[in-house]
Structure 1
């Protein structure tokens, strides 16, 4: 039964994980967003208190 021989499958598993851990993180980290987020100001707007007539 050839599927019980771990030699070729372990090599395939090792090489595929080596590709995943070397090539893919560089491609993911090189991704740039089309719209860069703008920084919001830390100033809180001054609000008027409501004066209820009752």
Structure 2
């Protein structure tokens, strides 16, 4: 069954992942973020219990 033969496809997959990991990924990570995260203080909203009519 030729579909189960990993010989040609495994090397292609391995080569593509190595290319991505060693060449493309560092270039992508060096770009600055367009919206850098900022530290915001978390505000806690005042909540009141809901007046359920059946209680």
* TM-score calculated relative to the size of structure 2: 0.49
In the superposition, the TM-score normalised over structure 1's length comes to 0.49
Structure ID, larger Rg: 1
